[in-house]
Amino acid sequence: MSTSEKNEAVEPNVTNGSPKPTSPNSDLKHDFASFWEYSSAPESSDKVEIKPSYGHFIDGEFVEPVKGRTFSSINPATEEVLTEISEATSEDVDKAVKAARTAYNKRWSTLPAKERGKYIFRIARMIQERSRDLAITESMDGGKPIRESRDVDVPLAAAYFFYYAGWADKLDFAFPGRKAKSIGVCGQIIPWNFPLLMLAWKIAPALATGNTVVLKPAETTSITALKFAEICRDSGLPDGVVNIVTGAGQTGTAIVNHNDIDKIAFTGSTKVGKIIQKSVAGTDKKFTLELGGKGANIVFEDASINQAVEGIINAIFFNQGHVCCAGSRLLVQEGIADELTRKLKERMETLIVGDPLDKNTDIGAINSKAQYERISDYIEIGKAEGADMYQPSNGIPDGGYFCRPTLFTGVSQSNRIVQEEIFGPVLTIQTFRTPSEAIEKANNTPYGLSSGIWTDRGSKIFNIGSHMDSGVVWANTFNKFDPTSPFGGYKESGVGREGGLHGLYPYVNLV
């Protein structure tokens, strides 16, 4: 539809009481905000069962917490309480570790590898069977758009289980000439941005290699991990092979410090990663750390601009920007900077911020009040640093924790919004003239997790890519994940790799 087809301003898709659009921003060629109308298409949550409360999943059954303490899990789009979650103390963690140790010694490490694989395949299929329930629950508990939980989180979680199920009886081929031995009991701690998917990244390779686990989901997003516990129970997985304890940072500390845990796998912030690294120093615990990032997305003058705009939108606004490998720093070659910035702003005008369960929604709710405040603080910091802020004119819902997609231009390399991980829908734009300037700016942060390169020259992709200090380099795309592909960081973005053949290494001793 062109602007000439527009007769009068129509109220856009109104979800959760979105206000009417204000006047479109004056530097845009198109007026998207006032005439794209979508009927709402909410996914029904009627058939989704979220219990009023959940205990810990230990030794194959749900049990009450030793001290009986609980906390509420909130729907960030409505601020309603979804359920009460148990808080694990060190006593609960100890029970879970004991169950995992017994299962390791008696039931799992001694099972023929082929049989282990069958259980993991069964879990993968059950994730597929329950995918609708899991996707809706993930969106209600975490705020992410249903399109993403339905099309990305849940299918990928199943794919990781399928992939590692396949490795279970082929470890001799993974490590030719060597014997892969399981480690024992693994303590696994995950964040709130991809709850079920991060669980899959952790549990699937651990089980495939013959280990047992005690996993703690993040405080704000425990429900799909508890539904996964139901899958473990219903799949007939031997008791104690997977144990899920819920709680906050103290529960994580109890796992990290437990003497009978052989390996820690942590995904979360660099700050907590450093604490964990200190805690395990001097012990014989193995560890892997998947930490934060501040990914550079580099667009050269020879790139397809329209394609790059789509990639930039996906790189920073996917999952509300709660993505460790988000392309949160855009570096644009000077000759196309004005055109690209204008097109990007126009595309941002079309983004629908709203009800996570609505299939039209592009950007859902910020995961928690605390994260919403953190992002808001960074937006204020950006303004105080003198950067120019742009937000589209579309309305956002009144209640819940919603944040407009935000763009900052006029930033410099030393600005905090350029250096620090915001973990929200906030993008900064810088320009560069030469490839070496792009490389220098891209690598100039403490992080080294991801980067993107947009160009029509294959040789440029390989040249620039080989200079990136980042574990992942995407070319003419962004935020693509696959179970066969290793993922992890350099510098303060972490230690070790998850995914692919590389993801087996942290869970085995090679003899």
Q: Which residues are known to be catalytic?
A: 290, 324
Shortest distance, CB of residue 239 to ligand NDP, whole angstroms?
24
Shortest distance, CB of residue 279 to ligand NDP, whole angstroms?
8
- Residue 128, both tokens: 């597929």
Three-state secondary structure call for residue 435: helix
Contact 315, 281 (CB under 8 A): no
Residue closer to ligand NDP, measured from CB, 256 or 427 = 256
- CA nearest to 504, candidates 310, 329, 288: 288
Q: Which residue ranges make up the site for ligand NDP (CB under 6 A)?
A: 189-193, 216, 218-219, 248-249, 252-253, 256, 267-269, 272, 275-276, 290-293, 324, 421, 423, 449, 489, 494
Residue closer to ligand NDP, measured from CB, 158 or 256 = 256
Q: Element (H or E) spanning 102, and its range?
A: helix 90-103
Shortest distance, CB of residue 91 to ligand NDP, whole angstroms?
17
- Residue 422, both tokens: 């915001």
Strands (E), 195-346: 212-216, 242-244, 263-267, 286-290, 296-299, 329-333
- What is the Cα–Cα distance from 298 to 329, expressed in whole angstroms? 8
Shortest distance, CB of residue 129 to ligand NDP, whole angstroms?
26
Residue closer to ligand NDP, measured from CB, 190 or 223 = 190
- List the beta bridge partners of residue 451: 296, 473
Query: DSSP state, 219?
Result: T
Shortest distance, CB of residue 108 to ligand NDP, whole angstroms?
24
Contact 222, 35 (CB under 8 A): no
Residue closer to ligand NDP, measured from CB, 218 or 352 = 218
Contact 160, 483 (CB under 8 A): yes
Contact 18, 37 (CB under 8 A): no
- What is the Cα–Cα distance from 426 to 434, expressed in whole angstroms? 25
Residue closer to ligand NDP, measured from CB, 163 or 390 = 163
End-to-end CA, the chain: 65
Shortest distance, CB of residue 329 to ligand NDP, whole angstroms?
14
- What is the Cα–Cα distance from 240 to 250, expressed in whole angstroms? 22
Residue closer to ligand NDP, measured from CB, 33 or 100 = 100
Which residue is at the shortest CB distance from ligand NDP? 252
Distance of alpha carbon 366 from its chain centroid, rounded?
Answer: 13
Residue closer to ligand NDP, measured from CB, 272 or 313 = 272
Shortest distance, CB of residue 141 to ligand NDP, whole angstroms?
13
- Which residue has 């309603």 as its token pair? 80
Q: Is 331 exposed, middle or buried (0-12, 13-18, 19+ CB in 10 A)?
A: buried
